[in-house]
Amino acid sequence: MSITIEKSERFQTEYKNYYERISRIPGEASKKELENLLRKLITEVRVMDKQHLDLYRRNVMPAMIVDSRSRIQDIRKEIVRKLEDCERTYKV
């Protein structure tokens, strides 16, 4: 079995980048919202990893993988947008 998405170097780098940027946001409400989005991203990535594992074990293509990809993409876009707004607002 290949490496999971969550443990991939690309995802770990992206996660650390988001985490570090979020930690520099001074507004508590904004920071909490971004932390919740980051947790939501991790949850979706884990769901997708589980789906891939199921796919590997059962050799079946679940339709839900497409939904997970879409949700992950939407969450990432929202994190980036909110981070950029906060960084602009707080001049971080």
Question: 29 or 66: which carries more pLDDT confidence?
Answer: 29
The pTM score is 0.89
Q: Token match 């884990």: residue?
A: 46
DSSP string, 20-32: HHHHT---HHHHH
pLDDT tens, residue by residue, 31-90: 999 999 999 999 999 999 988 888 888 876 666 677 889 999 999 999 999 999 999 998
1 has a pLDDT exceeding 90 = no
> Domain ranges in the chain?
29-90
**CA dihedral defined by 14, 17, 18, 23, rounded to 10 degrees?**
160
